[in-house]
Structure 1
Amino acid sequence: MPLPFLTADRAFDGETEDVVLPFHDRQRWRRPYRPGPHRVGLAALVLLLASFVLVAAVIIAATASVTGAWVWFGVALLLIAGALRGLRLGVWVSSAGLRHVRYFSTRTTAWSRVGTLRVVQQPVRWMGLPRTLQGQGLVLEARSGRGASSPADGPVVLLSTHNADFLGQPAAFDRAADTVEAWADEYRT
């Protein structure tokens, strides 16, 4: 059974020497790296909690009020939606541009607006929390438009060595940063 989401790192597995961008359909948005174990583990725990809440909703519907069951069914749906959104967090690329997906917002930058992408040593957030540690981050600096530039055009940390995808995996961070930079070099004008 083919698992297409596992092919993100094929260019770095030694199978292909000259392929940097191993994707055939470049119009489709895709994450150029695998989700990290911390992100997947947290989503699995939230989905496990959602399954318990769904069982509780069924028990409440069978023994007590139906309105209470609907409330817990809604809570379970919110947990499932939150876990699925958490799995989609990160950087996505296509031939159209670069998409930075956060929990409550998504920002898409066309390749023509991408100024520089570089890895810098700086304080980065640990697992997205307010606590910062010294680490590396892939920083995007967008080009200013023809009109006035907005504050959103400032440097944005796309990936870091201490987020849920790369915590404790510096080699995976380096591969992901190199892949995003390769996409930028391929499509940036």
Structure 2
Amino acid sequence: MPLPFLAADRDFDSTTSDASLPHAGADQWRRPYRLGPQRVAVSALALLLSAYLLISALIIAIAGTVGAAGATLVIAAVSIAFALRVLRMGIWVSPRGLRRVGLLSTRTLRWREIERVSTVQQPVRWLGLPRTVQGQSIHIEPRRGEPLRPLLTDHSADFLSRRKAFERAADVLEAWAAEHRH
């Protein structure tokens, strides 16, 4: 079963043909980088926990406590939803714009709403925690309004210890912004 939210183009740039895409439509949202191992590990652990919860719910239901089995099923469903959302988090691009998917929210900007996409050297959060380290981040300057928080950092769950992958993703995002902004 293909999982399109895990797919990333190998040579993701504007010159690739539609035949090289992991899906039929070139107008679909796609991630310009591969998921980091930390993000995949968190999702795998959440899915493992949900498997145990589902087995527990079955055992509890057989024992005759339907209310407790229902509560356990709800917790398992939340765990599965969390794991899938963690896999979906990140930056997605399409010819229509740029989409930032977070754990609880999604924000989409059309390319014409973006003034500039750039890579900046600054203190960044390490794995999203309060601790900051010196690193690089990708910033978006919208045409109107205040600047957005950094899109990606080289110390995030997708790019920790993968500097070349961060540089490639930054180049791709900057190229897409330059090509589609009008």
TM-score by length of 2: 0.89
User: Which residue in 1 is equivalent to 2:158?
Assistant: 165
8 Å Cα contact 2:8/2:31 also seen in 1: no
Q: Distance in 2 between matches of 1:49 and 1:23?
A: 40
User: Which residue in 2 is equivalent to 1:41?
Assistant: 41
8 Å Cα contact 1:86/1:103 also seen in 2: yes
AA paired with 1:176? Answer: A
Task: Call closer, same or farther: CA 1:43–1:3 in 2, change over 3 Å.
Answer: closer
Q: Distance in 1 between matches of 2:26 and 2:130?
A: 35
Superposition misfits of 4+ residues, deviation over 6 angstroms: 1-4
User: Which residue in 2 is equivalent to 1:140?
Assistant: 140
Structure 1 residues 107-146: aligned runs within 5 Å: 107-144=107-144
User: Which residue in 2 is equivalent to 1:184?
Assistant: 177
Task: Call closer, same or farther: CA 1:175–1:87 in 2, change over 3 Å.
Answer: same
Per-residue deviation, residues 34-69 of structure 1 (Å, max 9, x unmatched): 111110111001100110011111000011301100
User: Which residue in 1 is equivalent to 2:21?
Assistant: none
Structure 1 residues 66-145: aligned runs within 5 Å: 66-144=66-144
The runs of 5 or more residues in structure 1 that have no matched partner are 12-18
AA paired with 2:143? Answer: R
Instruction: Kindly report the root-mean-square deviation, in angstroms, between the aligned alpha carbons of the 2 structures.
Output: 1.9
Q: Distance in 2 between matches of 1:106 and 1:115?
A: 20
User: Which residue in 2 is equivalent to 1:8?
Assistant: 9
User: Which residue in 2 is equivalent to 1:15?
Assistant: none
The DSSP-based 3-state class of the residue aligned with 1:8 is coil
8 Å Cα contact 1:21/1:179 also seen in 2: no
1:29 Cα offset (Å): 0.7
- Fraction of identical pairs, as percent: 47
AA paired with 1:27? Answer: D
Q: Distance in 1 between matches of 2:113 and 2:26?
A: 18
1:60 corresponds to 2:53: no
Q: Distance in 1 between matches of 2:27 and 2:154?
A: 28
The runs of 5 or more residues in structure 2 that have no matched partner are 19-24
AA paired with 2:156? Answer: N
Q: Distance in 1 between matches of 2:109 and 2:180?
A: 12
How many residues align? The count is 175
